Every structure is written in C-alpha cells, then in structure tokens.
Structure 1
Amino acid sequence: MSTTTKIFLTGATGYIGGSILTRLLAHPDRPSFELTALVRNPDAAKKLAALGVKTISGSYDDLALLTDAAAQADVVFTMVCVTVWDQLPPAQAILAGLKQRFEQTSKPPILIHTSGAGIVMDITAHGHSGAQDTYSDLDAETLASRPGKALPMAVESALVRADEEGYVRSYLITPGTIFGLAKGPLVDLGVQHKHSLQLPLFFRTFIKRGRAATIGPGLNVWPAVSYNDNADLYLRLFDAARSSSSSVGHGREGFYFAESCEYSALEIAQASGRVLHKLGVAEVREPDEFSEEQVQASFGAFWEILSSTSRARGERARAQLGWSPKEGKAELLASVEREIEELLKDSKL
C-alpha cells in the first residue's frame, strides 16, 4: 500500500454513509486519503468535489463500474441502505475488484460492510416479544449458522468466504436501529439524508393518521445505537484495520453489532404519542393498534421487519476496539421529539 490510502465509498450521501464521509474528511490522516464516492446525483457530485472528494457517476446496479472502482481501492466502505435486498451481485462485483487489487499489490485490501441486526431477528414476532435469545457478536459460530428466522445472509457469507480465501480482510458492522438527526457539512450542503429509515417511517405514519400506533401489541424489541456512536464505531474499526499490528477480528470473526440499548415498539409509540399530543397533531396521547389494512397500506411487505424482534449485544467492539457508546435509552426517547418536529417541517411526508 502506498503512502496514499485510496478509499472508495458506496452510499456516501446516505444517512450512515454521510456520517462516515464526514468523519473521514475531518480525520487527522485526511491529507493521505484519496476519497472516491459513488454518486447518482450530479448536483451532489459537484458539492462533494468542492470538498475534495472524487466522484464516480453511477449506481449500485453498475457492476462493471463497481469492480473497476474497487480494483483501485485500498479500503472500501459499502453503506447502501439495507432495504436493498438484492445486494449479492454488487457485493460480488466489489469483491472481484478487490481481488484484482490484491493481485496487483499482494496486500489484502480492507472491506468494511454495512449489515444490520436483522440478521438475528425473529421475523415471526409480529409485534409480540418473539424469540428471547440475545446474540453476541463474539459468538462467531452461531452467527455463521444464521440463527432464528433472520434476513438472508448471502452477502455476509460471500464476504466471509472472500476473507477466508485471503484476498480481502472483511469487517461487517451490524447496527441495530440508528437514532438521531444527521448533522454536519454534508447535511448543510443538502447532500446527505438527515433521517434514518426505521423509526422515521413510523413517525411519518403517526403524523399522517394523527395518532401513534403499534403493529400488534408492540412488545417486539430491537437494539439501538445513536448516529454519533455508530459513526464512532466505523472510524475506530477503520483505524484499527489499517494498523499493521492490528489483531481485531475480521471475516468469520469480523461481525460487530452496534448497540447501546434496547427498546420496544410500544415505548416508541408511547413517546411519539406524547409528542404528537404536545404539538397538537394528535388529540389522543395513548397509541392504539394499526388495523391489518393500515399496516399493509403504510408499510407494505416491510411490516414483518418493523414488527420483528432482534436481540443483539455488541461485545466485540467494546473488547477489541475500546468502543464505548455515550448515548443510550434516555437519548433514544428524547430524540423522538426532535425527529417529529423536523418531519413536521417537511411538506413531503
């Protein structure tokens, strides 16, 4: 690897990706970074160029482009929204490029991939408590066996296999629900998405119907992590992975759950109900339950994920990276009001 570290990012204008790019732009080693981002929007590309970020015009469907870009990179961050289910072909294209890079340099490039706590969820919970097992990211064998009724792990499995073959070092960050509004220069420029997906999808629906609600009784639970703590984990892992003396886990040992607390859907609905009532959006403070018709109309096929249970514990980052999240349950519940206030300013609910 040369004195210049070539970094390729996908999803750099998204909620997660923007937080990582912002941190990289402010990194002490920034002068040695060559940052390249895959971008769809020409206006966003111009704004990123003004910040010193090279851009490649294209999408996650441009497989040859992904391979070419990865073949030039020492480090790749993949941060495409986890609701894009068919990510295997793009992942395979990126791995093909990274294999070329390895053949050129004889040094395994680094791949930091965004997965999610959905890999251990009980999708049959349907608003009930669901499976009670809590999965640790230190339990590599259990994670490799795809516990419970979880999301497919085709991409994660491909990354682990590539690591085992030795031509890449893969790291898989698996956040729970990420909360908090995005802030920073990319947001100020109108480049980065300000909101996450999971909770704001509920908030928008609550605002439209004028009352908070749950899918079923809302007893399903998920782990959560703040926007800032999640970004901190990525950067700690990035710095550790670049170190020649690094012993942090990768491949099969490279799953990193990002979480600082656990919440139930009912708790979020109750907090939302209080805020909506306070702001005059809802006449009734207490949430009710969505009807089946409302669930389908509001969430479509995504409803089973939103009503699932996922229990995960991020012990690897704490033990190996010294990651210590600062924001927990109190901050999660306090963020509800700020999110709803911001969404009420948006005419495109």
Structure 2
Amino acid sequence: MASNTIFMNGVTGYIGGTVLADLLKRPDASSYKIRALVRNAEKAQQLKALGVEPVMGALDDVDIIEKAASEADIIIATADCDHEPSAHAILRGAKTRFTATGTRPIFINTSGTGVLSDDARGMHTTETIYDDSDADQIASLPLTQIHRPVDAAIASADAAGYVYTYIILPSTIWGWPNHELVQKGIANYRSVQIPMLIAGSLERGHPGMVGKGVSNWPDVEIHELGDLFMLVFDAAVRDPAGTGHGREGYYIAASDEHTWYQISKAIGEAMVKFGRASDSEPTSFTKEELDKFYGGSEYLGSNSRARATRSKALGWKPTKMSKDMLASIEQEVKGCIEKPYKLA
C-alpha cells in the first residue's frame, strides 16, 4: 500500500466535492494516493479517471469503511456529520492502523456550527458567542446538541492516543462551486440552508421565515471553506502534534454573521424580480407550513454565534462577507426555480 494514503467520504457532496477538487489541484497531489467512498458506479468511473480510487459503498457499509480507514494515513469525512455508525467505523479503522504502524493517523471530520444552535425559533438573538479557541466552552456543549455525539466521540479518540483529530465546523455555507467535479456532474453544487428557505418560500408564494427572523448565524463562502480545509490539512500533515487537535482541535468556518430575516428578505426581492411573489417582505411560516416544509422543525430560526479565532490563527483569511452572501441569493432563487430543491 502506498504511503500518504487519503481516504475520504462525501466526495459527491457540496463540501466533499470542493475539498477533493482542492486536493487534486495541489502541486503535491501526485504524492498522495486518494481513495473515496462512493455509491454510484458511473461516478466511481469518473473519479477513477481523475486519479481517485473508488471504494464502493455507502455510509451504512461500516465494514468497508473500517477497512478503508485502517489502510489510510489521513481520513477526511465530509458526509453526514450525524452518522454515528460510520464515524465509529472510521475510529475503529484508525485504531487498527495505529496498532499496525505505531503512527497515529490523521482524521479531519466535518461537523457544523449547528452544534452551537439554540431554540430561539426566530424570536430573539443571543449574547452567547462560541470561540473555537476556547476548548472549555466547546467541551461544555451537551450531547443533546446535534452533531455533538459524533464530535465528542472523535475528540475522545484523540485523547485515547491512537489518532490525531481535527473537527471543522462550517456555518451557513453559500455560493455555487464551479470546480471540475461539479462541471463533470460528480459533485453537488448546492448548499442546504438557503435553498431550504427558498423552496419553502416558493411553495407558499411568499418569502417566509421562522418567527421574526431576528436570530443570528455565521456564514462562509464554499471556496473559502475549502481554503480552511487545506490549511488544516497542511498543518496536520506538517506537525500533527503541534497543531491544535482533539479537545483543542475545533476549527470554526465563519467569516461574518447574518440574521435569518436578511436572508428571507433577499429571497423575497428575488422572488418579486422573477414574478414569484408580489411583495418582498417576509412573513412567518405558519405551524402548518413548518410541518409541511420542514417536518415541524424551527431550526432555521435558531441562533448559532461563533468566532473563528483558531481557524484564523492558522492563516485563514476569508474575504467574502454577509453582503456578498446576500447578493448571491438571487442566483440561488433562480436556480431553485429552474431546478426545484426537494424538501424532505
């Protein structure tokens, strides 16, 4: 088996596709053997043509994932950050790798600032701001928070001494990537949160929001998120013990902050422009609409406030701010009209 082997999941997704595209563009890309979990046979062949070795399987195929992780020096997970079976399979594989080689593998996992979210339901903001350099504050998050069970298990594995772990927490991700994997139809080009709000708004024929929309979330542009992944990757490969890891290894991807009202207002303005609404001023989703569009969830009215202190200390320098995100929403609305976003 080649040294410097990378095993990834989620490469056909929005985040994972961007990370893989960035890896493939690196000047030292040829020094790594990249393997990727993939379900679709056609996409597997496309990945193979790009020099990526497909590992056929899905997140529930824990034996396949465990074996692939046990053969990797670096593991990058970008798929479902709440999928506990696959996360634990990766950790078992990493432990096997350590036992066999005596070297701790590197595990870069994707979580999200949803782990910081509250139950504001769009009715108020909060003064609580989480800082990724404050390990005690992050550790205080209860296991009842989304993403937290996986995050905590990964950090505990680092403490056990058989793997170096680094957890990246994207916020509201925006923008349409146009890298090679998107161009070839391998990877998804859409985020989740903003298209979800657009889809519900289009279906009701008027821009919607949860509650008053006054709650705050951070945001990050997709390519700048990819930049952070590469910085964490470089730091971990160069000096895994000296780079913040485990309990000290949380890296928030947040460049600016917005309210949900601002997003819904921008959606409304685009809907008016495209003849899908007569008024751009958002109104609250009714309980019936929340049930219909979002399974009753009011998550898109939560607060999640964060500072990317540790990420910026690595040299991350995002330049795309909330004003740029709001300006991009017209393209998102147009895209959702042309190709509707499916609500679960």
Q: TM-score, normalised to structure 2's length?
A: 0.96
Matched residues in 2 for 1:164 and 1:30: separation?
A: 30
Whole-Å separation in 2 of the counterparts to 1:326 and 1:233:
12
**Aligned twin of 1:94:** 90
Corresponding residue for residue 67 of structure 1: 66
For each residue in 1:200-257, what CA deviation from the matched residue of structure 2 results, as whole angstroms up to 9, or x when unmatched? 1111222222210111111111111110111100001001100048622000000011
Do the aligned partners of 2:143 and 2:149 also contact (CA within 8 Å) in 1? no
- For the structure 1 residues 346 and 245, does the alpha-carbon distance in structure 2 shift closer, same or farther, using more than 3 Å as the test? closer
Give me the whole-angstrom Cα distance separating, in 1, the residues matched to 2:299 and 2:242.
Answer: 35
Q: Which residue of 2 aligns with 1:323?
A: 316
Q: 2:339 aligns with which of 318, 328, 346?
A: 346
Deviation at 1:151, TM superposition (A): 2.2
Spell out the pairing of 1:281-292 with structure 2 (5 A cutoff): 281-292=276-287
In the alignment, which residue of structure 2 is the partner of 1:189? 184
- Note if 1:150 corresponds to 2:149: no
1:209 corresponds to: 204
Distance of aligned partners of 1:331 and 1:294 in 2 relative to their CA distance in 1, 3 Å threshold: same
Alignment pair present for 1:313 and 2:312: no
Aligned to 2:256: 261
Aligned letter for 2:257? E
Whether the 8 Å CA contact 2:218–2:256 is kept in 1: the answer is yes
Q: Whole-Å Cα distance in 1 between the matches of residues 278 and 94 of structure 2?
A: 56
Which sections of structure 1, spanning at least 5 residues, go unmatched?
A: none
State how far apart, in whole Å, the 2-side matches of 1:252 and 1:105 are. Answer: 24
2:76 aligns to what SS in structure 1? strand
Q: Kindly, what percent of the aligned residue pairs are identical?
A: 38
How far 1:145 sits from its partner (Å)? 1.4
Counterpart Cα distance in 2 of 1:337 and 1:314: 27
Q: Which amino acid aligns with 1:11?
A: G
Alpha-carbon spacing, 1:147–1:313, altered in 2? closer, same or farther (3 Å): farther
Tell me how large the CA RMSD over aligned residues is.
1.7
User: SS where residue 281 of structure 1 aligns?
Assistant: coil
Measure, in 1, the Cα distance between the counterparts of 2:286 and 2:239.
56
> Aligned-pair distance for 1:172?
0.3
Alignment of 1:102-113 (within 5 A): 102-113=98-109
List aligned pairs for 1:266-281, cutoff 5 A.
266-281=261-276
Structure 2 residue aligned with 1:165? 160
Change (3 A) 1:316 1:348: closer
Are 2:164 and 2:241, in contact at CA under 8 Å, matched by a contact in 1? no
2:330 counterpart of 1:334? no
Counterparts of 1:152 and 1:204 in 2: how far apart (Å)? Answer: 24
Q: Structure 2: which amino acid aligns with 1:345?
A: E
Corresponding letter in the other structure for 2:319: K
C-alpha contact 1:121 1:149 (8 A) present in aligned 2: no
SS in 1 for 2:94: helix
The residue aligned with 1:294 is 289
Aligned to 2:235: 240
Structure 2 match to 1:14 = 13
Deviates more, 1:232-241 or 1:334-343: 334-343
**C-alpha contact 2:110 2:169 (8 A) present in aligned 1:** yes
Kept in 2: contact 1:220–1:309 (CA 8 A):
yes
2:100 is equivalent to residue 117 of structure 1: no
Structure 2 partner of 1:57: 56
**Distance change in 2, residues 1:280/1:240 (3 Å):** same
**SS of equivalent to 1:234:** helix
Residue by residue over 1:111-161, the C-alpha shift from the partner in whole angstroms, topping out at 9 and shown as x without a partner, is 000011011111x21112243210101110111111697325111111111
Rounded Cα–Cα distance in structure 1 between residues aligned with 2:332 and 2:277: 16
Q: Which residue type is aligned with residue 310 of structure 2?
A: R
Displacement, 1:103? 1.3
165-174 or 130-139, which deviates more: 130-139
Query: Is contact 1:120–1:148 with CA below 8 Å preserved after alignment?
Result: no
Unmatched runs of 5 consecutive residues or more in structure 2:
none
Q: Which moved more, 1:290-299 or 1:87-96?
A: 87-96
> Are residue 179 (structure 1) and residue 178 (structure 2) matched?
no
